[in-house]
Structure 1
Amino acid sequence: MVVRLRLARHGTRNNPFYHIVAIQNSKARNARPIEKLGEYDPVPRPARQTAPPTAYAKLKNAPGYNGDIITSGISSQVQMEKHLEWNEKRILYWLKTGAQPSKPMARLLDRAGLIPPEKRDLYKGLFRQRLTSVDEPVSSNKPDA
């Protein structure tokens, strides 16, 4: 039984939402997984902020009241962020038992630092940077004129 860590797509059209799951390799994308490990929302959405001001905050004696202006604590600039939530202990457990991450999942794990540098060659889909020494001179193919 080959177990994969991969993304199961949920959500609606043009609004994807993924569950991070441990599932048998031969199963369909959205089949029932062995274990749900987390959630990933790749669409940037407004960051979770404080709630709008309550009726109490609108009173003149409430903190935050400055004459005519009532400050609510909500920033005028909305920050957009992607949402990623997972159980790191369970993901490391599945990797230790031999589960292979899919290419997108391997990239997420690599960015989070869950894949050690010595094991980066084991997983497909990771960006492999060419290592060059600082002492090595860079050779050019241009002839001297």
Structure 2
Amino acid sequence: MSVKIRLHLAGTKKRPFYRIVVADSRARRDGRFIQEVGYYNPITKPADIKLNEDQIFDWLLKGAQPSDTVRSFLSDAGLLTRLHQAKIDTKKNK
């Protein structure tokens, strides 16, 4: 089973609001998900993004793959650098 971290549309027509969720890659975009780990509101200026960094970091360590948009959010938050450093540290300790 492949797990993705991706956006889940929760808004209405012309008023988008997205939840950032962990979901099975075979599930529909707005279908069933495993866990909600944040949200993204593009309507506000500047855009409102909330990430539960601890939960996202745990899922990334377990092998979850972020979508392109979520990857850019994680990169801006510094989570991908933290993940890379954690993987290097575990290799050094072996």
TM-score under structure 1 length normalisation: 0.55
Q: Paired residue for 1:111, among 49, 54, 76? A: 76
Which of structures 1 and 2 has the larger relative contact order (alpha carbons within 8 angstroms, sep 6+)? 2
Q: Paired residue for 2:53, among 88, 94, 109? A: 88
Q: Comparing both structures, which one devotes a greater share of its residues to helix?
A: 2
Q: Is the 8 A contact 2:21 2:36 kept in 1?
A: yes
Structure 1 gap segments, 5+ residues each? 45-79, 120-145
Which of the pair has more CA radius of gyration? 1
Structure 2 gap segments, 5+ residues each? 85-94
Size of the aligned set, in residue pairs, is 84
List structure 1 segments (4+ residues) > 4 angstroms apart after TM superposition: none
Q: Residues 84 and 118 from structure 1, CA distance in 2 versus in 1: closer, same or farther, beyond 3 angstroms?
A: closer
Residue 81 (structure 1) shift: 2.5
2:88 matched residue in structure 1:
none
In structure 2, distance between residues paired with 1:31 and 1:117: 30
TM-score under structure 2 length normalisation: 0.82
1:28 matched residue in structure 2:
28
In structure 1, distance between residues paired with 2:35 and 2:43: 24
